[in-house]
């Protein structure tokens, strides 16, 4: 049944339906007829970012949880003190795509890991895997808590970012859970807690870009580089698959962080020095022997890479190769984000691993 639009629809229908307000029926004509169409990947966020709903404002004073494009209500209450008044504070051009990819690529630690492939290991190797898993469980705890802290502070004008963060919360819960499962499935157990200094830095961050640079680009970047060596660390199909699936998830988090940093630096180039200052601080902590240099973790990884305590030195050399890879990939990501000058500013303890510029 078509409705005439000579005067507001709500008013017409109020006459026909006494007692009803029907103001909500009075949708602006200009917004009708825009029809999002499913594409090859289904009906994605990208597909519905059309018309008014797709116009992302550079500044936001949206305090009522009104997702972008929704019409303001009369007398609607403000509900949140957002700290992201501008797009460049939080935006990443790949957030929509990463959200959909994350939803598609969820996996189950209960059923997608071939736990049956885990057989008793030598005690030193089992200890080493359990120590590494204890450490990784902690890392994933904080990587899940942090986006939770930020989600309520992001304006729903940039809801795709908020939604991406919820996928990260889900991913990290699964990682925390899968490493805990691995620690408890083969007769070992949870071992030594790490110091957590670097993790705390992530939680302490008072600015979204600072948090993202520390967590997504630096922290998850280092972890990602390690996960990609999972074929060497894993002793069986289950562990190799764990590292592979986690690496796949971390890639999304990392991609968000790199593209957010790039967006911020492009839109607000005056923030470059500020961002360098965040990295100065966190690299210093990294180099001063915090989480990623925690002795039990270093030794555990070396034992795993070497194939046992008696091959510790050989494993330690491989560990240094991983560290070199971590630092160089970190530098590469910063170059992609537009922070190539970091090469000259990186703390010496990390810069020593840098390859010559390409």
Partner 1 sequence: MTSKNTEQFDAATGPRDRLTLTSGERFAWMTNEHTEWGIRARPGERGLRLADINIGSYGEAPDVWPYDTEIPRGALPNDTAEGMGYSIFEKQEVWAESCAELYEDAIQARWVSATDIPWASLAPLPREIEAAVCQLSTDLSQRAYAAGACVSGWLQQISYGYLEVKSYLATQIFEHSRHAEAFRKRTLANGGALGIEPPNAFTQRCMEAMNFSEALLCIDVLEAAFQVTLFEAGDELAHNDAERELYRRSLGDKLRHLQYGRDHLAWIAQHAPQRSKELQRYLAKAEHALVADLEQPISSEPLIVLFGGGLDSIDRGAARLHALRRAQVERYLQTLREAGFDHDAFPLHSHLAAFVEQPVEA
Q: Is 284 in the site for partner 1 (CB under 8 A)?
A: no
- When the beta carbons of 277 and 320 are compared against partner 1, the nearer one is 320
Q: Is 23 in the site for partner 1 (CB under 8 A)?
A: yes
Q: Is 190 in the site for partner 1 (CB under 8 A)?
A: yes
Quote the crossing angle between the two packed helices 95-104 and 237-267, to the nearest 10°.
Answer: 170
Please name the helix (run of DSSP H) or strand (run of DSSP E) that holds residue 317, with its range, or none.
helix 312-336
8 A C-beta contact, residue 209 and residue 92 = no
Residues 11, 43, 93, 277: which binds partner 1 (CB under 8 A)?
43
Residues 86, 268, 280, 312: which binds partner 1 (CB under 8 A)?
312
CA distances for 55 relative to 58, 70, 302, 329, angstroms: 9, 12, 51, 34
Q: Is 71 in the site for partner 1 (CB under 8 A)?
A: yes
| Contacting partner 1 within 45-64 (CB under 8 A) | 45, 47-48, 50-53, 64
The window from 105-113, 206-214, 244-252, 330-338 that contacts partner 1 (CB under 8 A) reads 105-113
- When the beta carbons of 268 and 329 are compared against partner 1, the nearer one is 329
- When the beta carbons of 198 and 338 are compared against partner 1, the nearer one is 198
Please name the helix (run of DSSP H) or strand (run of DSSP E) that holds residue 147, with its range, or none.
helix 123-150
Quote the crossing angle between the two packed helices 123-150 and 197-204, to the nearest 10°.
Answer: 10
Identify the three-state secondary structure at position 92. Answer: coil
Residues 8, 267, 308, 316: which binds partner 1 (CB under 8 A)?
316
| Contacting partner 1 within 221-280 (CB under 8 A) | none
Q: Is 181 in the site for partner 1 (CB under 8 A)?
A: yes
The rounded radius of gyration (Å) of the Cα atoms in the chain is: 24
Angle of CA points 8, 10, 11, to nearest 5°: 70
- When the beta carbons of 1 and 357 are compared against partner 1, the nearer one is 1
- When the beta carbons of 234 and 338 are compared against partner 1, the nearer one is 234
Q: Is 6 in the site for partner 1 (CB under 8 A)?
A: no
Residues 89, 95, 98, 144: which binds partner 1 (CB under 8 A)?
144
- What are the tokens at 178? 């899968």
The number of angstroms, rounded, from the C-alpha of 127 to the middle of its chain's C-alpha atoms is 29
Judged on CB neighbours under 10 Å (0-12, 13-18, 19+), 154 is buried
The window from 83-91, 97-105, 215-223, 259-267 that contacts partner 1 (CB under 8 A) reads 97-105
């Amino acid at each position: 049944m078509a409705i005439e639009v000579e005067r507001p629809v709500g008013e017409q229908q109020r006459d026909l339906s006494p007692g009803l307000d029907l103001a909500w029926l009075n949708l602006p004509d200009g917004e009708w007829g825009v029809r999002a169409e499913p594409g090859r990947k289904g009906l994605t966020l990208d597909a519905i970012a059309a018309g008014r709903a797709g116009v992302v404002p550079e500044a936001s004073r949206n305090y009522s949880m009104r997702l972008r494009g929704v019409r303001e209500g009369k007398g609607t209450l403000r509900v949140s003190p957002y700290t992201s008044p501008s797009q460049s504070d939080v935006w990443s051009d790949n957030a929509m795509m990463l959200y959909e990819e994350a939803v598609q690529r969820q996996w189950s630690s209960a059923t997608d890991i071939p736990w049956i492939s885990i057989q008793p290991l030598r005690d030193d190797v089992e200890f080493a895997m359990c120590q590494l898993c204890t450490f990784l469980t902690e890392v994933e705890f904080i990587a899940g808590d942090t986006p939770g802290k930020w989600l309520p502070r992001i304006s729903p004008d940039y809801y795709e970012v908020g939604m991406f963060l919820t996928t990260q919360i889900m991913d990290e819960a699964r990682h925390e859970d899968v490493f805990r499962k691995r620690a408890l499935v083969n007769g070992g157990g949870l071992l030594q807690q790490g110091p957590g200094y670097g993790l705390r830095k992530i939680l302490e961050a008072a600015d979204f870009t600072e948090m993202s640079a520390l967590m997504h680009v630096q922290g998850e970047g280092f972890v990602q580089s390690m996960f990609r060596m999972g074929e060497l660390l894993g002793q069986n199909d289950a562990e190799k698959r764990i590292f592979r699936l986690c690496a796949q998830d971390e890639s999304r988090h990392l991609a968000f962080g790199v593209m957010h940093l790039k967006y911020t630096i492009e839109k607000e180039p005056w923030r470059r020095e500020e961002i360098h200052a965040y990295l100065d601080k966190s690299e210093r902590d990294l180099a001063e022997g915090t989480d990623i240099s925690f002795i039990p973790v270093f030794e555990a990884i070396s034992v795993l890479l070497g194939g046992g305590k008696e091959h510790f030195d050989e494993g330690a050399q491989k560990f240094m190769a991983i560290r070199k890879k971590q630092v160089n990939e970190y530098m590469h990501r910063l170059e992609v984000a537009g922070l190539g000058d970091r090469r000259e500013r990186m703390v010496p303890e990390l810069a020593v691993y840098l390859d010559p510029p390409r």
